[in-house]
Every structure is written in structure tokens, then in C-alpha cells.
Amino acid sequence: MQHDAGMVLLRKPSGVTSFAALGRLKRALGIRRIGHTGTLDRFASGLLIALVGRLTRIGWLITDLPKRYHATVHLGEQTATLDPEGPVELRRPLPSAQALEDALPGFVGRIRQVPPAYSAVHVGGERASRLARRGSPVQPAAREVYVESLRITAMELPRMTIEVVCGKGTYVRSLARDLAAAAGSCGHVAALQRLSIGAFTVGDAAPIDTAGPGDVIPPAAFLHRIDGLEVRRVTPAGERRVRHGQPVEPQFLMGEPSGDRPCALLGGNELLAIVEPAAGGAPRPYRYRCVLADSSGRAAEPAA
């Protein structure tokens, strides 16, 4: 099987950066262009999704999927990094179990959240973590995030475990900090595992030390598992039109999309393009979001 374009589900262990995990995969596949769809902190473990070759261009489809985490929170102590790698900077009495349960509803739905000082968000054009490590004052701006569900699965103070399902941009470290504060205490994430991204689970992932060509999933085998994305095959005439960037019309598709969601167009097992419904009144039924194949019939390489 060719492995120049596809998806790889990786199981990242704690203590390894996401960058290092992708570096191992690059060497195993002998390919340079590999991108992630959401990093994990070094202390965290779990599912890391990599896209290979030209499929790095569709990372947004994965990034937008909900993510499920399992976190162990240490209460009564807050570290500078909100994880086990930073020094303790604040201590408070332990909260009661009831106070924690009562605080949960306030962190479900659309909430305002301040990212950790040690994070990849940008402050003044520079990553907050770099400023923080230099000792510069860092105060990331609050932003809206979405938490689909939050529940306590075990509690033996000073530790509790929580399970979180959340949207992109949500920091579990900030969630643990704010939940502890709402219960009258403080806390940090002592351990974190990402269990799933959309329909893709850590149980299906390959260890980073053994992942190789046999773990590359071709587009035709995973696109249908992306919630909110339709998949349609194109006719031979439709494939030629897509390769030349010509208008995509229903008669060139094997089954008409609903018209209200992005749609992946397949020629055989090759992902040719992602199209979206055109704006109301537009003369073309669908507009291109990205094209992954060129007019020669070879897969188009994304811009460097």
C-alpha cells in the first residue's frame, strides 16, 4: 500500500513531546510532510492523529472534532504550569466532595476560559510559554470554548479523576484550575490522557515506537468516520473536472450531497478535493475548500 497520503493514529506516551513523536513517524515512513491535528503536552499521553503528505491540508476537519480526556487532578496545590512539571506556587485547603460536584454545572456548555501561561497561545505575537519561561509577565486573554460534558469519575482526596468531552481550544489544565477554584481550593492536572478525537480512539492507535507504513489509513477508509463530513465519489467526467478546477455540479457526483455540509470527493480511493456549499444565489452549487489532485492525474503537493 502506498503511504504518501493518509492518516496515522498514534499512541503517545507521557514524557515524549508531540514533535518528537511525529519525528519518529517521519523516519519510519521516509516522508517529510507530516502534520498533527492537535498536540499533546509532554506530560500527557493518548491519541495523537497525524496526517501524511498532501492530507496535511485537511487538518481542519480533524481539529474541529470533539476530544475526550481522562484527567487526574491533584487538589490543594497549584503549579506554575498547571501540570506535574512545574513548581508549586499556591496551596489551599482541600475542597469538599460536595463543593466540587456543585461546581461542575458551571463548566459545561459555552464558557469563558483563560489559557495557561505555559501554553501555545500567542500573547503579543509570541507564544505564551516562551514568555513565561523567560520570566516575563504573561496574561493570556480569556476566550470562549465549548465543554460538551464534564464529570467526576473517582475521588480520593487530594486526588480526583474527571472525564471531559470538549471542543477545540479547550485546555483541561485550565478547566481543572478553575473547577478547583470554584470549589474554594486550587489544583493542577497530575496526569492526562486523550481517549478519543471524534470517532477515532486511542485503542485503535499504534505505539510511536512501532508505527510504520502498515498503520497509514487511506482517505477512503477514514473520511466516512468524520462527523459533519459527507463523502461522495465522482464520475470519470467529474474527476476530470475536479482535476482542472472546473465547477462541481450534481450530475458529476455519484449521489448528491445534502448541500449543507462539507463534502469529500473521491476518485477511486483517492481524495481529490473538499467542497462546501456555495453562498446563496451563487451560480455554482459547490465551491472548493481545497483541491488535493492536479490536472496531470498525480496528487497535488501542498504548498511548502
Among 41, 83, 178, 215, the one annotated catalytic:
41
What is the C-alpha to C-alpha distance for residues 3 and 1, in angstroms, rounded to an integer?
6
Q: Is 41 a catalytic residue?
A: yes
Residue 289 contacts residue 302 (beta carbons within 8 Å) = no
Distance CA 164, CA 147 (A): 7
Residue 135 backbone class (left: φ over 0; alpha: ψ -120 to 50; beta: rest): left
In angstroms, the CA 278 to CA 259 distance is 9
DSSP state of 55: G
CA gap 49, 71 in Å, rounded: 19
The grid cell for 235 is: 464520475
Q: Are 176 and 152 in contact (CB under 8 A)?
A: no
SS3 196: strand
Residues 6+ apart with CB under 8 A from 121: 115, 127, 128, 140
Question: Which residue bears the cell 475548500?
Answer: 289
Q: Pairing relation of β-strands 109-113 and 67-75?
A: unpaired
State the maximum Cα–Cα separation within the chain, in Å, rounded to a whole number.
70
Residues labelled as active-site residues: 41
